[in-house]
Amino acid sequence: IMYNYSVFIGRFQPFHKGHLHVVKEALKQSEQLIMVIGSCGGPRTTRNPLTFDERVRTIQSSLPPEELSRVVFTAVPDFMYNDNQWIASVQQAVFSAIHRKTFVSGPYTVALAGMSKDESSYYLDIFPQWDSIRVEPPARVISSTDIRNSFFRGSGDWTADMMRFGALEFSEAMLPVTKQLE
């Protein structure tokens, strides 16, 4: 273990096997993982259909108890067109999570975990105060956008091969946004 804390930032709309891959790698290299869940507090949309609590539950159901005990969840809202405010919000959420979880009396190490897959991964380079845990993408890159689009089209190709926690939980969590679209 190289770091006291790793940080994984994402919307997790929904949490899928690609995200799980990053979580596993981050936990290999740190004592604790802080999952910063973004786009919180806004209304349900087709882009952000799941609430913070629903996303936390799907992540929790994907991890064994011994790993889950090392994960802390925190939320940040969106700041449209204001990266500086978003960066400050993420930094504050991480600082609060560290000090809420344990009393830190001395220096500690932090690394940002993530996978560069497209232009949305730019955030991996805007926290220079943290080390980096760059996770290699799996052979098949999984996209939450593809899962959501497939779900809303009614095709079943988004299920077990993409999401560890299962199609039933995702379908149940999606019911409120599905009803809004009717």
Contact 5, 98 (CB under 8 A): yes
Tens-place pLDDT, residues 38-63 = 999 999 888 998 899 989 988 998 89
Tens-place pLDDT, residues 48-101 = 988 999 899 889 988 999 999 999 999 999 998 999 999 999 999 999 999 876
* DSSP string over 89-154: HHHHHHHHHHHHHS---S---EEEEE---SGGGGGGGS-TTSEEEEPPPPSS---HHHHHHHHHHT
The end-to-end CA distance of the chain, in Å, is: 49
Q: Check residue 123 and report its DSSP letter.
A: G
Tens-place pLDDT, residues 129-163 = 999 999 988 777 778 888 777 777 776 665 555 55
